[in-house]
A = this chain, B = another copy of it.
């Protein structure tokens, strides 16, 4: 542990600054070794590999080798770097189209069947929701031309709540369905439920819907066939979790009235700074992050990443980074096929609020984390009243951040501090770019493919098997109308005696809802009997 004076010296020597953005990264409280590259065996090679891989990413190599895909999110804000003129043109045209479309919506040139649009409903999940949600939470203001809502799950009650909130406003609501593959079930379900709501309101869904999806996807074909208002592209060289600066994020942002050019410019400026090779290692802000993570977690993710922005607008940053970091780094095998079980767990909400929730554990408890503080210098748009003589609410917020990181450091808990001058489109774009690059660097350092997600499929397949079992169960109940079966009888009846537990869960769920006419009788989960109502004639 360093004294305050020593910390100040390290701070002076190692602060990573992007002057054009007013962004800085302070890693002094991570207690990184002085000759960092030489401090750990092989680290210099890992850093060199990170730069090599990043260069390969940016020149269009198929770095996502398992899926044989290019990784092009850096081109989105620097189209001149794109490997082909076609890709460059596609990026540039999309930005122009997004801004033009939003402008036409705002002036009422593009409008719904009965009214101009005042609300946007984004239907998407994962990479098609977390970026737009983070940006909307960060940048929304009362002066925006449109308000944004989200359906990001297949929870029927959750969907109902969104439409209850919209109420009659559904006629003023433009629905943006976002799905790269067009096959994501949650999004498909949200789209179908939304369609039913528009129809119930006497409105043609197609005249209130736009799609952001891959060319030729199921969603693309639906939108084309039904004559939706418009379609915007997703490309196979942009992954979902790095798609915020493609149409996925830019379209909702432009509709909400946010500064799309600012988002792109901030990311572009940050990219220039994080692309830098040579010079002091920590001078590259993304490398400063990646190296801090590496040293803190031993290159094996032994420490969780706690994200604590001291600003309400940034409350969703941790959720956004959960996906970006965990889905990118959480891998079973490295690029050479060795089983490594990599990853870094990410959580957090905001300060100083979280100080009253779990900083107790951070300071005193299990030492399995490091904190990333995000400091925003500007308190609010206007002036602040005093809450004590000569002190404002914002002075307290600032004091709590400093006090907490000191209290943690005194107990041997490390932290990074990221400082930005204000929350605006430019700095949000910069934060997104900063973490995209840091994750890319770290992945290369630990030798995993940051750009695929092979582990997600197994859950989807298993869910598909459950849905198939449900069909069998409903079929079996229908041919036995009038008789009631226990769980084990049903499991036997459908030829899946080993799947009794899945059968039980399906039957309990069916009986709790009126949709399929399944009823339960008797008590106790194992003795209960299930039957189906005769179909109404």
- Beta-carbon contact of B361 and A326 below 8 Å: yes
- Beta-carbon contact of A158 and B462 below 8 Å: no
Complex Cα–Cα for A3 and B502 (A): 13
- Beta-carbon contact of A361 and B345 below 8 Å: yes
- Beta-carbon contact of B360 and A455 below 8 Å: yes
Does A104 belong to the interface (CB within 8 Å)? no
Does A12 belong to the interface (CB within 8 Å)? yes
- Beta-carbon contact of A188 and B342 below 8 Å: no
Closest Cβ neighbor of A126 among chain B residues: B356
- Beta-carbon contact of A312 and B459 below 8 Å: no
Residues of B within 8 A of A463 (CB): 396, 399-400, 402-404
- Beta-carbon contact of B466 and A311 below 8 Å: no
Interface-forming stretch among A36-44, A113-121, A272-280, A362-370?
A: A362-370
Residues of B within 8 A of A155 (CB): 310-312, 350, 379, 393-394, 397
Closest Cβ neighbor of A332 among chain B residues: B364
Residues of B within 8 A of A421 (CB): 512
- Beta-carbon contact of B313 and A158 below 8 Å: yes
Residues of B within 8 A of A515 (CB): 379, 383-384, 392, 394
Q: How far is the CB of A147 from chain B (nearest CB, A)?
A: 11
Of B304, B332, B359, the contact of A365 (CB 8 Å cutoff): B332
Q: How far is the CB of A141 from chain B (nearest CB, A)?
A: 8
Within 295-314 of A, Cβ neighbours of B (below 8 Å) are at 300-302, 304, 310-313
A side interface size, CB within 8 A: 156
Does A127 belong to the interface (CB within 8 Å)? yes
Does A224 belong to the interface (CB within 8 Å)? no
Residues of B within 8 A of A190 (CB): 393
Of B330, B352, B470, the contact of A153 (CB 8 Å cutoff): B352
Complex Cα–Cα for A398 and B359 (A): 35
Residues of B within 8 A of A186 (CB): 352-353, 356, 396, 400
From known contacts A367-B341, A404-B459, infer whether A323 and B357 are also in contact, taking CB-CB under 8 Å: yes
- Beta-carbon contact of A512 and B353 below 8 Å: no
Interface-forming stretch among A225-233, A247-255, A259-267, A493-501?
A: A493-501
21 contacts between A and B (CB under 8 A): A125-B356, A141-B164, A153-B350, A154-B396, A155-B394, A160-B381, A304-B304, A304-B345, A330-B361, A330-B363, A343-B365, A355-B459, A368-B368, A390-B474, A392-B515, A396-B463, A398-B506, A399-B470, A403-B459, A419-B508, A421-B512
